[in-house]
Amino acid sequence: MPDDLTPLWISLKTAIAATCFAFLLGIGVARWMMTYRGRARGVIDGVLTLPLVLPPTVVGFFLLLLFGKNSPVGQFLDQLGISIIFTWAATVIAATIVAFPLMYKTTLGAFEQVDQTLLSSARTLGATEWRIFWQVLLPLAYPGVLAGTILAFARALGEFGATLMVGGSIPGVTQTIPIAIFFAAEAGRMGVALAWVLLMVAISLVVIVGINYGDGGRSPLRMRPNPLIVRWFNWVFFGGRNHSGTEDTERRDTSHSIHPFTHSPIHPTELRVKITKQIPGFQLRVKFRTDEQPLGLLGASGSGKSMTLRCIAGLETPSTGKIVLNGRVLFDAEKAINVPSRDRKVGLVFQNYALFPHLTVAQNIAFGMQQIPKPQRVPEVMRYLAMMHLEGLGDRYPHQLSGGQQQRVALARALAIQPDILLLDEPLSALDAYLRSQVERLLIEVLEQYRGVTLFITHKLEEAYRICHSLMVLNGGEIAAEGTREDIFEHPPTFQVARVTECKNFSAAVPIGETHVEATDWGCKLEVIDPVPPDASFVGIRAHHILFLRGTRLSNTFPSWLAMISETQHRVTLYLKLHSPPESAQDYHLQAEVYREKWELMCDRPFPWNVRLDPVRLIVMTR
Ligand SMILES: Nc1ncnc2c1ncn2[C@@H]1O[C@H](COP(=O)(O)OP(=O)(O)OP(=O)(O)O)[C@@H](O)[C@H]1O
């Protein structure tokens, strides 16, 4: 057995001190590196990680050069009466430097694993970066941070080479266990060396078991909430009051369940946007204004819908232009105005809900209620729970809710900041058909009461049609069409707009008269109702507008044969070939949609069937 136990004490206090320094430095630097995207990122990361791969003696040599008596730093410290080399401080510095990369790398990895949408969401809910760090980033990354801390501690405890070079082996001062093992073995005291080795193995085992039991590596999304953390967040959000939404449910006055949203009466409700945003491979260029009526944004994937919303929310900075909301300039490139997200009063609802997984439903809703005194937040949260029909779910965590409930919480949380504008980014798309129609009805109800601007992104025309009075179609980052929903639906100006608005039948077209075109893909001449523009290049018709007639007297009536059918519960899609029988199932010109009842009446009729492309229904488009 060793007769002197000071190496144990020195090792422990060195490792603890080094872990503390590595912890603070590692977290701080990782947070900075998380957002730093400069060119030097790779170099900086390499330098910060270097002590992990360098032999410890190399690190020790650099420290000797840095703190040695002949170095500028050493001479400066000498003048202050401070000596580093061969002191306990030197062992701590050496241990900190070798432990730091483990802390930094593990923490950076944990930070980068946190869903960026959650951080964006916190920004739009009015949180400062400091608050986001403490209340969102750190709690979500804590298993990784904890693992980094334990690894850093283990590395500091086992440090040998660098410590020996700058701290030496001074018994009772700088001699740590690894150094004691080396010198005991060198002196042939194998029993003493073995005792230290066993002690190191025991401590290391405790550390490894600590990682396994300390939630290291477990997802914070599904972990069992620690009661202390739950109480801490309740205190942070509510001053410790009950907010579950269970007891007050009975007493709730349902007549006030929808909040009468209001905003400043001085300015009319209006959003004016004229911006460009240039990113590699894509340019957004939009100019539009909208008011209290919900505006639906449609467009193919990658057309710039979300980018437009993110620019309005302040999560992206436009390259040029101006955004004015209710008379308040949110962004003006010329005047260098760029109101931070947290001050824009923007309620942003994401497709994936972006609920904070470590906070309860009530805490999620209260997250943006910073302007409300803590005691008043409880009744406010209750009101939003009731408004969204979420009574009794206040204490649940997001993963304990159905998709529809989660989306209602997301909506409640966005509304709870009393936003001047609601930005809904495909809020219903992750829900199944039943939940979607439930949430959609609730959304329509809420939007009828809401007095701010609403932008609603969706890929479903029918959804946009039910929720929004006006539509805007984006194509390749530019506005391809805007107007009332009826106008966009009935007169899509371009092929792209018609396609986005779910028109399925197109043919290349050549104008052949004031009200006639030749549909070259369909092999026929067509009469249309409106004057044909000279640059018309497509003609189209919606699938449910195709008519089946007994006679051929009316214009635009052609013989057709059935190539194949595709059935749903209520409707049947007929794939039709014009003028001659099809050669294969894929040989067709048109898709016509009919109700099942009609299909059952017509399916036995002999071919050819007479289809009519009603001039009133034909859409003539430019490219
Ligand atoms: N952070 C980013 N970095 C680089 N390119 C991006 C970034 N975000 C979006 N883009 C690009 O910008 C374009 C517009 O993206 P945006 O997300 O606005 O499309 P969208 O119309 O919302 O599509 P979807 O319907 O699929 O969500 C796309 O080409 C996309 O690849």
What are the structural domains, with CATH classification, of the chain? 6-221 (1.10.3720.10), 224-256+356-405 (no CATH), 260-345+418-486 (3.40.50.300), 503-621 (no CATH)
Q: What is the pTM of this model?
A: 0.80
- Is residue 278 in contact with ligand 1, taking CB distance under 6 Å? no
- Is residue 360 in contact with ligand 1, taking CB distance under 6 Å? no
pLDDT tens-digit profile of 204-243? 888 778 767 655 445 544 445 566 666 777 777 777 655 5
Among 116, 282, 316, 426, name the best residue to mutate to test ligand 1's pocket (greatest count of ligand atoms within 8 A of Cβ): 282
ipTM above 0.90, yes or no: yes
- Is residue 458 in contact with ligand 1, taking CB distance under 6 Å? no
Beta-strand pair 590-595/571-578: antiparallel
Among 275, 279, 319, name the best residue to mutate to test ligand 1's pocket (greatest count of ligand atoms within 8 A of Cβ): 279
Residue nearest to atom 31 of ligand 1 (CA): 302
Q: Is the pLDDT of residue 253 over 50?
A: no
Amino acid at 445: E
Sheet holding 547-549, edge to edge: 547-549, 609-612, 557-567, 571-578, 590-595
**What is the structure's pLDDT at 551?**
81
Q: Is the pLDDT of residue 261 over 80?
A: no
Quick check: 519 and 621 in contact, CB under 8 A? no
Buried b (16+ CB within 10 A) or exposed e, 46-57: eebbebeebebe
CA of 576 to the centre of ligand 1 (A): 37
Q: Is 104 helix (H, G, I), strand (E, B) or coil?
A: helix
Nearest Cα residue to 408 out of 364, 367, 346: 364
Sheet holding 619-621, edge to edge: 524-527, 516-519, 505-513, 538-541, 619-621
Residue nearest to atom 4 of ligand 1 (CA): 279
**What is the structure's pLDDT at 1?**
67
- Is residue 303 in contact with ligand 1, taking CB distance under 6 Å? yes
- Helices 403-415/433-449 angle, 10° precision: 20
Q: Is 151 helix (H, G, I), strand (E, B) or coil?
A: helix
CA of 300 to the centre of ligand 1 (A): 11
- Is residue 282 in contact with ligand 1, taking CB distance under 6 Å? yes
CA of 398 to the centre of ligand 1 (A): 27
pLDDT tens-digit profile of 401-452? 988 899 899 999 999 999 999 999 998 887 788 888 888 888 998 899 898 9
Residue nearest to atom 16 of ligand 1 (CA): 304
Q: Is the pLDDT of residue 256 over 80?
A: no
Model confidence at 252, in pLDDT bands (50, 70, 90)?
A: very low
